[in-house]
């Protein structure tokens, strides 16, 4: 059966790359990119793009029926740092968007749904090193609470309505295609732009704040591999732990200095330090490895090399 894929949030950090990866798999015209703001030319000129608000239930269901959508990737969310500034609006957006998609999918029979969870579902009472798939989860951020609630709803719709919803607890994602979007881990994106532009960076986290991170190509491949895995292999109905590279600002700065020796970092922790201190330092992803063969491919050096090269190209193309 022909697959028609709806991507909600194609202008965001994950959506801007996942849309292109899905178009490579399913064909450009079969992947409908949507967002509340215009997406990149790479997306709007390679296949269908529509302005669409996932909170507009009527327009959403008309869109899904009109374009015979069979799979939905819901990537719209307010990330951790921004969510603390507007708690109730962030909760509203993060939860209403998911509930709209879950209920619409049950009603019209969507075959598969992807929804991103996060390491933010863990809190200060969670074991922080090699955080297990099943463990204590007492998040103390709006974003983390919304992601934990979302995981429970995904499992509920999986069990009650047999909806095939699949999810990944993304660590901090690092990419060069879009700039940082209000997350606590986004220092690890901003630092590369600042290193190229100013050979320096003021970091909003302490030097020894170790967090689980992942280069975007690994995250995109992990997402498509999860979505293409045999349904019988997918035993986790909430969200999978996935691990990439764990590092702290000092270690990242030292890696950048291998390519830009004159790079200087300073530290000025802000409100996001408390969020980072409540998150794991590393993740145990053995369940994803065993159930559907997940394996990360990028290390810190390889990621740093590519990030600096690609961001340098972006600056040079603006000249
Ligand atoms: C954030 O920092 O809020 C996100 C996340 C870890 O989910 N990048």
Architecture field, domain 5-172+214-241: 3-Layer(aba) Sandwich (3.40)
b/e for 200-221, b at 16 or more Cβ within 10 A? Answer: ebebbbeeebbbbbbbbbbbbb
State the closest ligand 1 atom to the C-alpha of 211, by its place in the atom list counted from 1.
6
For the chain, give every domain's residue range: 5-172+214-241, 176-213+245-282+297-318
Angle, helices 87-108 vs 57-66, to 10°: value is 40
- The pLDDT of residue 1: 75
Question: Is the Cβ–Cβ distance between 214 and 170 less than 8 Å?
Answer: yes
Pairing type for strands 49-51 and 31-35 reads parallel
Which of 14, 184, 282 gets mutated to test ligand 1 (max ligand atoms within 8 A of its CB)? Answer: 184
Q: Which residue has the tokens 């109730």?
A: 88
CA of 16 from ligand 1 middle (Å) equals 16
| Model confidence pLDDT, tens digit, residues 135-189 | 999 999 999 999 999 999 999 999 999 999 999 999 999 999 988 789 999 999 9
| pTM over cut 0.85 | yes
CB atoms within 10 A of CB 288: 25
Average pLDDT (231-255) is 98
CB 43 within 8 A of CB 33: yes
Tell me, what's the pLDDT at 179?
Answer: 84
pLDDT at 53 over 90: yes
Nearest CA to ligand 1 atom 7: 118
Instruction: Return the CATH fold of 176-213+245-282+297-318.
Output: UDP-galactose 4-epimerase; domain 1 (3.90.25)
CB 126 within 8 A of CB 138: yes
Q: What are phi and psi of 174, to 5 degrees?
A: -120, 120
Q: 3-state SS string over 3-14?
A: CCEEEECCCCCC
Residue 194 tokens read as: 């600042």
Q: Which residues have a Cβ under 8 Å from the Cβ of 39 and sit 6 or more positions away?
A: 10, 11, 15, 16, 19, 33, 49
Q: What is the pLDDT of residue 27?
A: 97
Q: Specify burial of residue 297 (Cβ count, 10 A radius: 0-12, 13-18, 19+).
A: exposed
Does residue 240 have an active-site annotation? no
If you take atom 5 of ligand 1, which residue's CA is the nearest one?
172
Catalytic residue, from 73, 143, 170, 240: name it: 143
* CA geometry: angle 88, 237, 154, nearest 5 deg: 30
Residue 9 Cα to ligand 1 middle (Å): 16
DSSP 135-159: ------SHHHHHHHHHHHHHHHHHH
For the chain, what percent of residues have pLDDT higher than 90?
A: 97
**CA of 143 relative to ligand 1 center, distance in Å:** 9
Atom from ligand 1 closest to the CA of residue 173: 8
Instruction: Find residue 247's DSSP bridge partners.
Output: 211
Q: In this model, does residue 97 exceed pLDDT 80?
A: yes
143 C-beta closer than 6 A to ligand 1: yes
Structure confidence at residue 275 (pLDDT): 97
Contacts 24+ apart (CB under 8 A), 153-156: 153/98, 153/99, 153/102, 154/98, 154/102, 154/115, 154/237, 154/238, 154/239, 155/237, 155/238
Q: What is the pLDDT of residue 318?
A: 83
Return the ligand 1 atom nearest residue 170 CA. 7
User: Encoding tokens for residue 59?
Assistant: 């327009």
E strands along 194-307, which residues? Answer: 200-203, 211-215, 240-241, 245-247, 264-267
Output the CA–CA distances (angstroms, integers) from residue 190 to 216, 235, 241, 263, in the order listed: 15, 36, 25, 14
The stretch 127-140 carries a mean pLDDT of 98
């Amino acid at each position: 059966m022909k697959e028609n894929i709806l991507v909600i949030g194609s202008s965001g950090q994950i959506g801007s790359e996942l849309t292109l990866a899905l178009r490579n798999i399913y064909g450009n015209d079969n992947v409908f990119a949507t967002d509340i703001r215009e997406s990149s030319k790479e997306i709007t000129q390679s296949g269908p793009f529509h302005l669409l608000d996932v909170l507009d239930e009527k327009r959403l269901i008309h869109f899904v029926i009109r374009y015979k959508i069979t799979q939905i990737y819901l990537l719209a969310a307010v990330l951790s740092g921004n969510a603390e500034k507007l708690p109730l609006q962030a909760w509203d957006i993060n939860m209403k968007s998911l509930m709209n998609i879950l209920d619409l999918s049950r009603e019209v029979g969507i075959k598969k749904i992807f929804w991103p969870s996060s390491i933010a579902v863990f809190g200060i009472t969670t074991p922080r090193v090699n955080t297990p798939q099943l463990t204590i989860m007492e998040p103390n951020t709006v974003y983390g609470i919304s992601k934990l609630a979302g995981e429970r709803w995904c499992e509920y719709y999986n069990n009650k309505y047999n909806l095939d919803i699949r999810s990944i607890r993304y660590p901090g994602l690092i990419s060069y295609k879009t700039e940082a979007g209000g997350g606590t881990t986004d220092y690890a994106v901003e630092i590369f732009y600042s290193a190229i532009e100013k050979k320096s960076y003021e970091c909003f986290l302490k030097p020894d704040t170790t967090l689980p991170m992942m280069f975007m190509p690994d995250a995109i491949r992990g997402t498509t591999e999860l979505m293409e895995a045999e349904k019988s292999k997918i035993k986790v109905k909430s969200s999978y732990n996935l691990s990439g590279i764990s590092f702290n600002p000092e270690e990242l700065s030292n890696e950048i200095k291998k390519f830009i020796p004159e790079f200087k970092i300073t530290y000025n922790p802000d409100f996001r330090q408390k969020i980072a201190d409540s998150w794991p330092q590393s993740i145990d992803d053995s369940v994803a490895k065993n159930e559907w063969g997940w394996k990360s491919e990028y290390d810190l050096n390889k990621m740093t090399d590519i990030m600096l090269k690609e961001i340098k190209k972006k600056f040079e193309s603006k000249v």
